[in-house]
Structure formats: C-alpha cells, structure tokens
A and B are shown apart, each in its own frame.
Chain A
C-alpha cells in the first residue's frame, strides 16, 4: 500500500506541472504583466516608467517562458514561469500583489471555509442518506413518490434562492440569527448555523436522489433476497446490508471531495461574509493577482490528487476484494 501511495504521489508531480503550465498560459493569454501593473497602480497618473518599476519589483520584467537572451539552463529558469512556479512545489506560495503572504492567508482562511463546509458535508451526508433510505423503504408508495417529487423540486431551485430565502426569513423577518458575518470560537456558532442550514437544505434534492438510486440498485440484488429469505426485518436488511454495500460508491464519492472542502464555497462565503478561501480565489481573479490565482489552482489540484488517492484507499477499506498494488 505504501509503495502504491508513493507511486501515486510521484505521478502527481507531472500532473501539477501540467496544471501549473496551463494556468500560467491561460492567465497570461488574458492578462499581460503590463495589465497587471496598471490594475495595481490604479487608473490615474500611471506612467510607463511606473509600470516598468512595478514589473521589476514584482518579478514580471522577465520573458514569460523562454529567455532567449540567456544561455544554458537560464533560458528556462530566468523566466516568469520558473521564478513564480518552482517554489510552489515546496508549498512556498510567496506574496500576493498586495504584498500579503499567501501562505498566511491560506492558513487563516482555511478555518472559516472548513467551519462551513465540514458541517454541511457531514450533516448533509447523514440527512441525505437517511432520507434516501426512507424513500427506499417506502419504495413504490406515495411516500416514495412525493419524496422524489420533493427532491426534484429542491434540485430545481437555484442555490442562490436558498441563501436569499434563508437570510430573508430566518435572519431578517424572524430575527433568529445574524444575516451574515463571522466570529471565532463559541461566538461563531451563531454565524455558521444559517449557512450550514442553507447548505444542507440546498443539497438534499440531488444528494438524496443519488443515494436513493444507489440503494435501489442494491436492494434488487441476490444477497438482499437471501437476507429477506432468512427472515431479517426490512430495517435490518436496509441498515445492516444495503447501507453497507451502498457505502462503496457513497464513500468514494464523498472522500474525493473531502480535501476540496478546504477550498470553500464562493457564493456561500460571499453572501454570508465568511472570510474563507472561496472568496479569496475570486477576489484574486478579479484583481488579476496571478500569484494568488496560481497558488489556489495549485492547491486545488494537489488536494484533488490527494482526494483521488484517498478514494483508492477507501475502496480497499470498504471492499476487501480491492487490493492496491
């Protein structure tokens, strides 16, 4: 298993270089270093000399990928791409164009992102699995039918609607919770309740339908019939056997997104004033802060790869037939 994980981590290096290269190319197709300088220096009184000075100070005065004026390996290393990318592989993200340390920002913002994303994920998973099992239990009855209708209705509504409706009713009309904001420690609970509630409700439709499909597929299998033939109650069949076997796709689907929870959610963070990583990324894109965009894409790719490795591990954990070699 250890050899497998190491091998997968080594495979990750070319993938991360590729992702980095792609991000770099896409970013600089749209923005030139001059554009970045102008945006940072503001719209007024910007002279060409000021732009040149900014580029020198921020390391954008070199060729993008190939330095024809240099010799030997410097042709590749004395470039914007190399200078701004190499350090990331040891998780040195450097500074954003606003001068703030990106690593510091990521560490600070990870907590608030997780404070929302983790409860939404865990509670959402429990609620969705429970609701799906309930629908499967009452399959082909009016409860199942209306459950599916409810899921389709919930799926059809935009996520933004849940946020606005939640804020309007719970925070504005009924004055039960703060409409937005964030605080650390015990005070923070009041602030995360509403976004977590909204996040869970918004995910019930799609989540429950998906799990219902998985459980329905399982429930028609031979081992379930055997269990019933042995005289087990329906509840025991569902919770002891169907749930356990249905957990394979659920777990693998869940594990792959687990590391990405760090990255936060853009809309939720923006509307609820959560100082997480989702809003950090979007702010950086708007500000054409390449250093932050590159760092966040790199981190996202790395976490996704970690998620895939964890998925493989979880396969072997939930299904003893799977062996990692």
Chain B
C-alpha cells in the first residue's frame, strides 16, 4: 500500500486484513449478543438507547452496571493477554513461551495471595499485589535466563521452574490461611470477569492504550529478532534494548490483565497461535492476536453465562478446559511433525 511519491508506504499482509475483518465481525456479533441477552432480554434499540444515555432506568442499570463493564473487561483482558503471549512466543521462538506457562501468571497469583492472606487487603490492594508478583516473577526469569544472550528454550525451562515454585508457594499460603481468607483466595485463583466494574475496565484499558501502540512500534524489530540475535544485529536492530522494551510491554500487559481478572489460563497461549494459523502470517501478528484474544474471552464468558446461567461458572474454568485440550493437541502435533523437540 503506497501513497503517490511514496512518502508513505505500508506493507500489509492481504490475508491478515481479511482475517482481522472477519474476527472483528464475529467479535461484534458477540458484543451484541452479550449486551442484549440474559435474564432480562433487551432489544437492540434499547441497548443503543442506553448507550446513548437515553435509556430507561432498568436498561441503563443492566447495561452500565452489569453487562458493559463485564464485557469490556473481558475484551480488554483477552486482548492484553493475547498480545503479551504473542510477544513472548515470538521472542522465545516457541509456542510454549506464553505468560501463563512460564510463571508470570503464577507469580501474579503469589503476589495476590500474599495480599489476601498475609496483609488482608481488599480488591485494589490484591490487584496491586498481583501486578507486583507478576513483575517480580518476570524479573527472576529475566535474570536467570537472559545472562549472556537469550536462548528460547532455556527461557521457557527457567520460566516453568519459576512457575512451579510460585505454585508451591501459593499452595503453602492457602494452607496457612484462615478459612475465610482461604475461600476468598481460592475464589480469586479462578479467573473471572464476573462482577468486574469500571475500575478494572479503566485500568486494563489504559494499559492497552499505552502498551499496545508501543508493542506495534517495536513489532518490526520483533520480527527481525526472530531471525536470531546475530542476524538482527547485522540488520541494524539494537537487540538488547528492543528485547528489553518488548519484555516489559509483555510482562506489564499480562500482570495488569491478571490483576484485573485473576489468572485466566491459555488465552495468551492459544490466541496468537490460532491467529497465526488463520492468517498464515509470519512475524508476531499483534493485531490479529489481540482481536483473537478479545474474541476468545468475550465469547467464552458469553458461553458460560448462557450455558450455565445458574451456577455463575467463572470464565477462567472454561478457558482452562478448552486451553488444556488445545495445549495437548499442540504438543502432540508438534512432536508428531518434528520427531523431537529441538
């Protein structure tokens, strides 16, 4: 795509545009479905009226207090997790390099549990604890895995180690907690967008608004890093600095998303891979991943709301089940294809 005299020339992957448009269309349908259906059915005009600020009291309450914050949280958290995963998978050159596999998520959980159990903090404090926990876990992995150049596989192995460590700390914390604290800790540990309000929407939305453009600016450097450190340097990429910025973006997105919704498994792992399989693209593909993540989580949440209306099933369990199956399929097909994991 070029303007005349080529002041502006962008390279656009045709199939990616089609896939993005398709994902956006499906996403729109899910948004409409989420806002209109439920215990109180609303018509599209009623929803539009409420959104325009001219709704009746009932519709207004249902949209602005119940459905819209929950929907937006799901969209933003899904997108944030997916972009975080896309960046990390690209940096580590491995589909397993995703924040939920390599310990960012469990680290966030440790931070949150310490706040809930040891400090007795409320919702905001818990979120801050989760944020801090995720960042500390990432820092540990960075220090242990990144000294003297990066190797994707080492990064993932260290990450899995940190993840296991955080998980055992989490279990220990729960055994030491009072019954009441243990119940609220356990509730937090199952990620959900149920009952999320405008604070979460604003926090994750602001993080996305800042970090996603930064990620997009660095996306081209990221696709150069995929060629290996030496080649990237030879092509004029400042390897260390670019990698650092990208990791910071990825960690913050994952940590803020987890702080808002609790640990939601496998969106970060699966969304970039699904997007990539649809676009047949190479490179990180941050925009299709973001759309896919938003769609997975919003559609997942709509499904648990409608399929199990009475039990208030958290969306974290749904993504966990589906993602687990996907992970098994991914590992099985990778190993079948290559015969080894080198």
A and B from one assembly? Answer: no
Q: What residues make up the interface of B, taking CB atoms closer than 8 Å to A?
A: none
